Each structure stands twice: as C-alpha cells, then as structure tokens.
C-alpha cells in the first residue's frame, strides 16, 4: 500500500549523475550546490554526494546528489550506489561525441544496478559544456533528438557549469519530471484502490474508531515542464 504525503513536508530525492569521465559531472554538482567552478577538477574516484535544498512549484525538496566516477576502471565502485535512486541525469559533453554515444550504455548500467523499469523512471539527458564555440560542437540537435526519442527520454537540457547556465534549471527539470511520474503512479494505484490520499479529508465510520484526521490541501498543481533557457532545453 502507498500513501500521498501530507503537504509542506520536505521531500528527499536521491539524484544520480552519470556519464563518461570528463564530461563535467562534478563541475555540474559543485556549481549547483556551492556555485563554484573548478577548471582543473580531478577525476572522481568512486562516488561523492552532496545535499542541496530546492523549491519547485511551491514544494520543498532536498536533493541528495550522487556524483559518480565516469572512468570505466571505477565501475565496481559506483554501481552499488544506484539503488534507491529517484532521478538519473545522463550527461555528455557537447564537444565529445564519444560521450554522447555512450549515453545508452550509461542508461543500461543504471537500469541494471538500480533495478528499475526504464519506461517509468525520470531520466534527464544533459548536454554539458554549452559554452563552447559552435564550431567545437560535434553532436547535432537532430542526433540528440533522435536518441532521446528512441530511448523515450522526454527531457533534454544543455548546461554550462563554467558560465552557470541552466544548471539549477536542469535539477528543477528533473524534479518536475519525477513529480509528473509520481503523480501518474499515484493515479494508477488509486485506480486500483490501493492507496490512501492523506491530503484529502478522511471519513472514518464512527462505529469503527474513536477519532478521525484530515489535512488541508495546499499542494500546488504544477503544470507540465516548460524549462527553457538561453541554451536548448525541452520537456514534454
């Protein structure tokens, strides 16, 4: 049985960032959490995590962000941390086509070790290093759109940790997608009669219990994701 959360509670979400070594995962996390950027950031060994509070559509979230090592030799160190994830950012660098081609393997690795069904999971595709000159881009918008379509990924955003472009937007977009899928799951469970909605008044037959509880409904009805910045971003 599942239940909807009472309003005004902070929701903790585990966010995993995946992608090839050097695409900028650590820089993305550090820009988002500390607003810092390190041009000479070291390769990550294993995993590192940081927390960051974020408000999206009037709801409070604490994002527990897991930054993983993209280098193949650290595979065994990172995969045990995929379990229990709520969101996965699949990152590549816009000037590194090999990192774009690797997105499918990252998605597969995540699905395998996080033990989830891919069609119901909030994956976000992130093209990082959007600050580079157009001539340095080696992946076209058509290639990105095609990959996202083939992989049923409806959210793509281009970021730059260097210029702090679309970084918070990427995480907000991810939370909105999570929320959308959660609502969908709740609706399905409600249709199956397998859930109690704690945000609605609860009427309990007098002959069964001595008290009843109700919560006001102050949740916002968030619209579909519309994150769009100076760089390319789309969401369904």
Is residue 88 within a helix (H) or strand (E), and if so which, with residue range?
A: strand 87-93
Q: For tokens 């820009």, what's the residue?
A: 31
Of 109, 94, 63, 66, nearest to 157 by C-alpha is 94
**Minimal distance in Å, beta carbon 140 to ligand GTP?**
19
- Which C-beta is closer to Mg ion: that of 44 or that of 160? 44
Minimum distance between the CB of residue 169 and ligand GTP, rounded to whole angstroms?
A: 14
Of 28 and 130, the one with the shorter C-beta distance to Mg ion is 28
**x/- map, 23-62, Mg ion, by CB under 5 A:** --xx-----------------x------------------
> Do residues 87 and 172 lie in contact, with contact meaning Cβ atoms separated by under 8 Å?
no
Q: What residues does 47 pair with on adjacent strands? A: 68
Q: Does 132 bind ligand GTP (CB under 6 A)?
A: yes
Q: Which two tokens stand for residue 147?
A: 């990959």
Q: What is the distance of C-alpha 109 from the center of its chain? A: 16
Instruction: Decide whether 55 or 72 has the Cβ nearer to ligand GTP.
Output: 72
For residues 51 and 12, give the distance between their C-alpha atoms in angstroms, rounded to a whole number.
9
Query: 210-215 long-range contacts, Cβ below 8 Å, gap at least 24?
Result: 215/6, 215/7
Tell me, by CB under 6 A, how many residues bind ligand GTP: 23
Residues 150-179, interacting with ligand GTP (CB under 6 A): 160-162
135 binds ligand GTP (CB under 6 A): no
Contacted entry of Mg ion, ligand GTP, none for residue 128, CB cut-off 5 to 8 Å set by kind: ligand GTP
Name the site residues for Mg ion (rule: CB under 5 A).
25-26, 44
């Amino acid at each position: 049985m599942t239940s909807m959360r009472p309003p005004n509670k902070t929701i903790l979400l585990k966010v995993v960032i995946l992608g090839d070594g050097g695409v900028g995962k650590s820089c993305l996390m550090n820009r988002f959490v500390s607003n810092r950027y390190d041009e000479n950031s070291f390769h990550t060994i294993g995993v590192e995590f940081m927390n960051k509070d974020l408000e999206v559509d009037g709801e409070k979230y604490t994002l527990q962000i897991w930054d993983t090592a993209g280098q193949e030799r650290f595979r065994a160190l990172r995969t045990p941390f995929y379990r229990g994830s709520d969101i996965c950012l699949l990152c590549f660098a816009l000037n590194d086509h090999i990192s774009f081609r690797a997105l499918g393997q990252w998605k597969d690795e995540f699905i395998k070790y996080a033990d989830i069904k891919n069609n119901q999971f909030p994956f976000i595709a992130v093209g990082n290093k959007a600050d580079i000159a157009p001539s340095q881009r080696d992946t076209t918008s058509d290639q990105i759109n095609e990959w996202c379509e083939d992989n049923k990924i409806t959210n793509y955003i281009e970021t730059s940790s260097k210029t702090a472009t679309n970084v918070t937007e990427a995480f907000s977009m991810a939370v909105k997608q999570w929320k959308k899928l959660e609502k969908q799951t709740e609706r399905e469970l409600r249709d199956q009669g397998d859930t109690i909605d704690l945000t609605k008044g609860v009427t309990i037959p007098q002959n069964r219990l001595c008290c009843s509880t109700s919560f006001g409904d102050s949740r916002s009805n968030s619209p579909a994701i519309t994150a769009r910045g100076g760089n390319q971003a789309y969401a369904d």
